[in-house]
């Protein structure tokens, strides 16, 4: 029999990545997936021994035995074993664990890493294996130990004192505190009344045509016009109407707007939330697929974006050269700066990886649209446009300020209009709040021109409380405060919602009563754990471990004694807290008791209070104000196993109508099909459900900030 040709074994994390890389490397290699971590601390025990200088006890993760057996078998017959897990702390730790179980020397050149999954990048990395970076591994071990100590020490206390199923965590507890603090700030906010005044004045447009412009009252008698009540506003109105006014100055300037840098993990999550209405978790799920590889055409699979967990905005010289060539060819010299735009990341940013960008700027979103899912196409288009725009020229705006004075009254007109699109021809950054659209033309006037006021409008306003956090703004705040790292933002937001500490309504995050209670307890007895500054300092210490400047056990030695004292005090001082279940108006159809609301994995549900004698449960039915397009019955709002809302007929399974988009009562005026509601950041749409029609109508935007 012919002897089997020996191959080099390459181990990656995911099967999708294994398939992509296997096609690149060809016959001389076998590529297998570890499917994430193969060893971890035991679930049933602490696994970290403070009495033995924080020795860590690692065991094979349940269900990974067969994977490890297959890896051992292949490693035994391979000519060389290369560990190609993700290029970050977690990936380095997975490689170290694999080296341990496969009995590889971590100091030998067995580790390869690449920032993008392309044939060129993978082939280059395979030729340059290195030793496992134990500083990275130790930083991950320190983080894992800290998280385990906090979670496994505080959570049982919460179970005993409040109820089972609760948890605490280094980052999640700080996130809950931020949301609770914001809610308390909103509740304690006292609105202050103020007024403004706008004079309606005829001025010329730039083309010479006369038009009426709203010109704001800026000053009265040389002081800022602070109109604190209706009486002051009415007096100001009378003065404006009586004043002899003339143009005192006209100032023309140019304003420039520079492009935003390419995406880091957090800025991608924020923009995907604002522009695409993606949750943070969905964003990471979709971009993971773009990174691991997509079959662009039959037999041609490759990753489309660079590594997706990064807080850097750096771009390689090779990528800069490519994108600048693309801009010059596609948009012209006016859109290409003389030198490449350079961006500075946050001072605490890790610069090991590039920003998130397309691996090849010539692979445009539209050229591969057919190979992508709708979500992949939208997210790739966002990443692509942001990257290209980041290397384009500034947008230029003409601005004009016209001051109109007389009898102690100063009115001020300000307008701006875009004169050159620059990078905005490709991409504009979004914000959490809607912006006022700028005027498409400017008013024109000459110094000394007399001005006649047609009318004056006075308007009452009240100061507004700060907005509640969205997922996007919470991630931005966590990043600004140095809490967590790119890999932790999505699981943090998912966890605080799943635990029932926070609810998400119309994209806004609200603390629940349970969240408030747990946060109050944490603030009283574990003040350092929920202190953003303390948590940020711990992150800096982990960075120091990664840089080889601090031993990982020293981080734990300085943290644990004070934490242990807090635990002892809390265990002694906290009394049992009884939480009464909220009673519904629904009778249990098994025993007749009034059912109560409970929180489960997929949200709230109704349960019989006589558990365990009666185990009856029922979902909470939420009807929408629209009939089933198929049978005319009522439609229910439901939740999928992946926590995504959809809409289905109450007569299921007799009627099988389902829709991801919310149907409305209105029928399409073009084809008669039912219309669906599409929520956008600044403008909701009604969209025809008929794919061949797709008639759309704008509807009044709904205020979701209250």
Q: What is the pLDDT confidence band of residue 638, given thresholds at 50, 70 and 90?
A: confident
Q: What is the pLDDT of residue 706?
A: 31
The class level of CATH for 166-188+470-573 reads mainly alpha
Catalytic residue among 29, 291, 307, 413: 307
End-to-end, the C-alpha distance of the chain in Å comes to: 76
Helix (H) or strand (E) holding 412: strand 409-420
* Torsion (CA) 97, 103, 105, 108 in degrees, nearest 10: -90
Q: Quote the tokens at residue 578.
A: 């009884």
Pairing of strands 674-678, 658-659: unpaired
- Bigger pLDDT: 114 vs 680: 114
Rounded to an integer, the average pLDDT of 53-74 is 94
Q: What is the pLDDT of residue 432?
A: 45
CA distances to 586, 646, 701 from 697, in Å: 39, 22, 12
pLDDT digits (tens, 9 = 90+) for 535-591: 999 999 999 999 999 999 999 999 999 999 999 999 888 887 766 777 888 889 889
User: Any idea what the Cα angle at residue 498 is, between residues 496 and 500, rounded to 5°?
Assistant: 75
Q: How many other C-beta atoms lie within 10 A of the C-beta of residue 287?
A: 27
Cα–Cα distance measured from residue 581 to residue 4, given in angstroms and rounded to the nearest whole number = 66
pLDDT digits (tens, 9 = 90+) for 496-545: 988 889 988 878 999 988 899 899 999 999 999 999 999 999 999 999 99
Strand partners, 406: 409
- Domain 8-132 belongs to what architecture? 3-Layer(aba) Sandwich (3.40)
Ranking 28-42, 543-557, 639-653 by mean pLDDT, the lowest is 639-653
Question: Is 307 labeled as catalytic in the residue annotation?
Answer: yes
E strand intervals along 111-155: none
Q: What is the pLDDT of residue 430?
A: 56
Domain extents for the chain?
8-132, 166-188+470-573, 193-258+396-462, 265-390, 580-613
The class level of CATH for 193-258+396-462 reads mainly beta
Instruction: Report the candidate in 395, 434, 436, 431 with the shortest Cα–Cα distance to residue 415.
Output: 436
Superfamily of structural domain 265-390: Topoisomerase I, domain 4 (1.10.290.10)
């Amino acid at each position: 029999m012919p002897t089997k040709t020996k191959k080099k074994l390459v181990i990656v994390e995911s099967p999708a990545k294994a398939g992509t890389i296997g096609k690149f490397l060809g016959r001389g290699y076998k590529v297998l997936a570890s499917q994430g971590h193969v060893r971890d601390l035991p679930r049933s025990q602490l696994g970290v021994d403070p009495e033995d200088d924080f020795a860590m006890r690692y065991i094979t993760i349940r269900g990974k035995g067969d994977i490890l057996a297959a890896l051992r078998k292949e490693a035994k017959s391979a000519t060389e074993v290369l560990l190609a897990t993700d290029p970050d702390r977690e990936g380095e730790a997975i490689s170290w664990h694999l080296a341990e179980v496969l009995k590889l020397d971590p100091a030998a050149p067995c580790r390869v890493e690449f920032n993008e999954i392309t044939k060129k990048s993978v082939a280059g990395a395979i030729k340059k294996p290195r030793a496992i970076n134990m500083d990275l591994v130790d930083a991950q071990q320190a983080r894992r130990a800290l998280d385990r100590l906090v979670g496994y020490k505080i959570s049982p206390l919460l179970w005993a004192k409040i109820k089972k199923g609760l948890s605490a965590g280094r980052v999640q507890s700080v996130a809950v505190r931020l949301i609770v603090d914001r809610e308390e700030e909103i509740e304690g906010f006292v609105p202050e009344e103020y007024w403004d005044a706008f004079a309606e004045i005829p001025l010329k447009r730039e083309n010479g045509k006369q038009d009426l412009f709203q010109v704001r009252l800026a000053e009265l008698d040389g002081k800022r016009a602070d109109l604190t009540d209706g009486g002051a506003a009415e007096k100001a109105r009378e003065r404006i109407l009586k004043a002899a006014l003339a143009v005192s100055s006209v100032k023309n300037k140019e304003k420039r707007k520079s492009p935003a840098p390419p995406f880091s993990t957090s800025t991608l999550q924020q923009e995907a939330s604002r522009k695409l209405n993606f949750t943070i978790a969905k964003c990471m799920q979709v971009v993971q697929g773009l990174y691991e590889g997509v079959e662009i055409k039959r037999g041609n699979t490759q990753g489309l974006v660079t590594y997706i967990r990064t807080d850097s905005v750096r771009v390689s010289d090779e990528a800069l050269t490519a994108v600048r060539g693309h801009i010059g060819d596609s948009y012209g010299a006016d859109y290409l700066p003389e030198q490449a735009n350079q961006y500075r990341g946050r001072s605490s940013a890790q610069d090991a990886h590039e920003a998130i960008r397309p691996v090849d700027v010539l692979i445009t979103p539209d050229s591969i649209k057919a190979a992508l899912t709708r979500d992949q196409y939208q997210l790739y288009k966002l990443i692509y446009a942001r990257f290209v725009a980041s290397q384009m020229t500034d947008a230029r705006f003409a601005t004009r300020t016209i001051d109109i004075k007389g009898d102690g009254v100063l009115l001020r007109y300000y307008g701006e209009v875009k004169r050159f699109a620059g990078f905005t021809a490709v991409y504009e950054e979004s914000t959490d709040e809607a912006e006022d659209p700028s005027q498409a033309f400017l008013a024109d006037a000459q110094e000394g021109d007399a001005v006649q006021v047609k009318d004056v409008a006075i308007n009452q306003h009240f100061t507004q409380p700060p907005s509640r956090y969205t997922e996007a703004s919470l991630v931005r705040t966590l990043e600004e405060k140095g809490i967590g790292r790119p890999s932790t933002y999505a699981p943090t937001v998912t966890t605080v919602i799943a635990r029932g500490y926070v609810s998400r309504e119309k994209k806004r995050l609200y603390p629940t009563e349970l969240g408030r209670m747990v946060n109050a307890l944490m603030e009283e007895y574990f003040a350092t754990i929920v202190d953003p500054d303390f948590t940020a300092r711990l992150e800096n210490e982990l960075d120091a471990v990664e840089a080889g400047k601090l031993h990982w056990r020293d981080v734990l030695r300085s943290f644990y004694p004070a934490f242990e004292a807090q635990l002892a005090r809390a265990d002694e001082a906290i009394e049992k807290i009884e939480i009464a279940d909220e009673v519904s108006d629904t009778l249990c159809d098994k025993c007749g008791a009034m059912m109560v609301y409970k929180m489960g994995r997929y949200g709230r549900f109704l349960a019989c209070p006589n558990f365990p004698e009666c185990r009856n449960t029922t979902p909470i039915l939420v009807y929408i104000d629209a009939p089933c397009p198929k049978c005319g019955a009522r439609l229910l709002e439901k939740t999928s196993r992946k926590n995504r809302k959809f809409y289905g007929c109450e007569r299921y399974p007799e009627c099988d109508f389902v829709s991801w988009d919310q149907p409305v009562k209105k029928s399409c005026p073009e084809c008669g099909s039912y219309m669906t509601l599409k929520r956008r950041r600044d403008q909701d749409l009604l969209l025809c459900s008929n794919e061949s029609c797709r008639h759309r109508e704008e509807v009044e935007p709904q205020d979701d900030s209250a």
